[in-house]
Structure 1
Amino acid sequence: MKFIEEIVVEEFLPTFRSMLAEDLRDRGLTQSEVAEALGISQSAVSKYAHGDVARREVILEDERVRELVERIGEGMTDGEMRPVQALVETEVLIRRLENGDVLASLHEEAVPELSEYGGGFNIHDPESELRTTERVLASVRRGLRRLENTSGFATLIPDVGSNLVACTPGATDVDDVAGVPGRIFDVKGQATVPGDPEFGVSEHVATVLLAARRAGSDARAALNVRYDPDIVERLVNDGYQTVEFDGETSTEEAVKAALSDVDDADALYQSGGYGIEPIVYVLGPDAETVVERVRGLV
């Protein structure tokens, strides 16, 4: 795990400081004056002057960095820019370069897992896609761990397998829904999760969840289990609202019709049809809540 702040310290600052030290020396400042202006030791200035500090070419060649170095060098030399202003101006540029820019790319280089976001993210943004999707994935992972540790859950898995899914707040299609690749199956009485959750790998359960959301539900997670009248009855007895939908028509239209009067349903179910396995879909605000509701059925 490498933080973007480490990229700033290890990659940006040595390059930027060396550029600024070089600029100030070219403007006639002594090594001592440069050290005082930058708040660093004279030995550090000497290292910069003799090229003893590694510099990042991509930062050296960035026009915005070069322009800021020149502006700070000129301002500090003629006394029109105080060190505090130079610091603020540099901080502003750093934040800009962290936001889907040069520093974000260097961060991606150091942490390859970030590459799936294409560098177009601001790691400090609390509402960023990166943070949102990682929270969804974490929620599914926690839910899956609870399922794996739930004795008897395997008995609730239908023949087609189960899947635990959760979506982002603005989900519009299955690519915005995280689930288990390959589904959860009963292997010798044990619920088996074949892999880590990913986005876009669940079509069936994700489709039901998205259809429910488009019909007015606030649910952001779902888990399918086998259908049994006793299971539906137990959900009702536990205080959950259950609604049946027609499994032989399109999922979108069937779920929409079922939720036309009850958009806050906690569970949807279809009792089967020709070639269609009956299934119960337990809904909830997040993966952990859905799992807890299902654990109550074991």
Structure 2
Amino acid sequence: MKFVEEIVVEEFLPTLRSMLAEDLRDRGLTQSEVAEALGISQSAVSKYAHGDVARRAEFTEDERVQDLVERVGEGLTEGGMSPVQALVEAEVLIRRLEDGDVLARLHEEAMPELAEYDGSFRVHDPESELRTTERVLSSLRRGLRRLENTSGFATLIPAVGSNLVVCTPDAADLDDVAGVPGRIFDVKGRATVPSEPEFGVSEHVATVLLSARRAGSDARAALNVRYDPDIVDRLADAGLSTVEFDGDRPTDEAVAAALGDAPGADVLYQTGGYGVEPIVYLLGPDAETVAERVGELV
């Protein structure tokens, strides 16, 4: 695991300080004055001056970095910029370079797992795609672990298999919903999760979740279990709101009709249709909550 801050410290800052030290020396500052201006030791300035610190061409050839060095060098030399302001200017550029730019690319080189985001992630943005998707996957993994450790859950898995899914806050289609590839199956009385969760791998349960959200539900997670009148009754007895929808109608249309007067329903179920297995869908704000509700049934 490599943090982008490590890239900044190990790659960017030595280059920037070396460039600044050179600029300040060219402007007539002594080694001692350069050290004071940059808040580093004189020995560090000496290393920069003698080329003992490697520079990354990605930064030395970047016009934005060159512009920053010139502005900070001039400001510190002529007194038009305080060290704090110089720090702020550098921080602003660093954040810019982390936002799908050169620092993001170097971070991707250090962590190839980030390649799927095409350098578009913003590490420090709490609403970035990277953080959003990882939160969804993290919630899903916790929910799956809970299901795997719930004794008796395997008895609730329908013939088509179960799936636990979680969507992003602004989910629009199936690619915004994460689930288990291949679904969860009962293997010799044990719920088995065949592989790591991914986005865009669930059509059946994800479609129900998205339909519920379009009908006004604020649910972010869903799980399907086998249908039985007793299961529905037990969920209702646990204080959950249950609503039936028509399994013969298109999912989006049927769910919208069922939730018309009850958008906050916790449970959707259909008793079957032509070629359609009867199923119960548990909805919730996250995967852990949905998995916890299974405890009411075993």
TM-score, structure 1 normalization: 0.96
Q: How does 1:222-237 map to 2 (within 5 A)?
A: 222-237=222-237
CA shift, 1:221, in A, is 0.6
Query: CA separation of 1:82/1:273 partners in 2, compared to 1, >3 Å: closer, same or farther?
Result: closer
- What residue number does 2:260 align with? 260
What is the identity, as a one-letter code, of the residue corresponding to 1:280?
Answer: V
- What residue number does 2:11 align with? 11
What is the identity, as a one-letter code, of the residue corresponding to 2:209?
Answer: L
What is the total number of aligned residue pairs between the two structures?
Answer: 298
2-side partners of 1:86 and 1:217: how far apart?
Answer: 49
What is the identity, as a one-letter code, of the residue corresponding to 1:90?
Answer: A
CA shift, 1:194, in A, is 0.8
2-side partners of 1:32 and 1:118: how far apart?
Answer: 44
What is the identity, as a one-letter code, of the residue corresponding to 1:135?
Answer: R
- What residue number does 1:283 align with? 283
CA shift, 1:211, in A, is 0.3
What is the identity, as a one-letter code, of the residue corresponding to 1:132?
Answer: T
What is the identity, as a one-letter code, of the residue corresponding to 1:243?
Answer: V
Q: Per-residue CA shift, 1:64-117, capped at 9, x if unaligned?
A: 100110112222223333323222221222222222222222222222222222
Q: Per-residue CA shift, 1:156-198, capped at 9, x if unaligned?
A: 0011100000111111101111111110000000000011111
5+ residue gaps, structure 1, are: none
- What residue number does 1:70 align with? 70
What is the identity, as a one-letter code, of the residue corresponding to 2:31?
Answer: Q
2-side partners of 1:27 and 1:36: how far apart?
Answer: 15
Q: Is residue 109 of structure 2 the alignment partner of residue 109 of structure 1?
A: yes
Q: Is residue 188 of structure 2 the alignment partner of residue 216 of structure 1?
A: no
Q: How does 1:129-140 map to 2 (within 5 A)?
A: 129-140=129-140
Q: Per-residue CA shift, 1:122-165, capped at 9, x if unaligned?
A: 21112222222211111110010011011110000011100000
Moved more, 98-107 or 137-146: 98-107
Moved more, 29-38 or 61-70: 29-38
**Quick one: percent identity of the two aligned structures?**
82
1-side partners of 2:102 and 2:2: how far apart?
Answer: 16
Q: How does 1:197-216 map to 2 (within 5 A)?
A: 197-216=197-216
Q: What secondary structure is seen at the aligned counterpart in 1 of 2:160?
A: coil
2-side partners of 1:296 and 1:83: how far apart?
Answer: 61
Q: Per-residue CA shift, 1:32-71, capped at 9, x if unaligned?
A: 2222222212221121122211221111111110011011
Q: How does 1:20-59 map to 2 (within 5 A)?
A: 20-59=20-59
Query: CA separation of 1:236/1:82 partners in 2, compared to 1, >3 Å: closer, same or farther?
Result: closer
- What residue number does 2:292 align with? 292
Q: Root-mean-square deviation (CA), in Å?
A: 1.4
- What residue number does 1:122 align with? 122
2-side partners of 1:242 and 1:72: how far apart?
Answer: 64
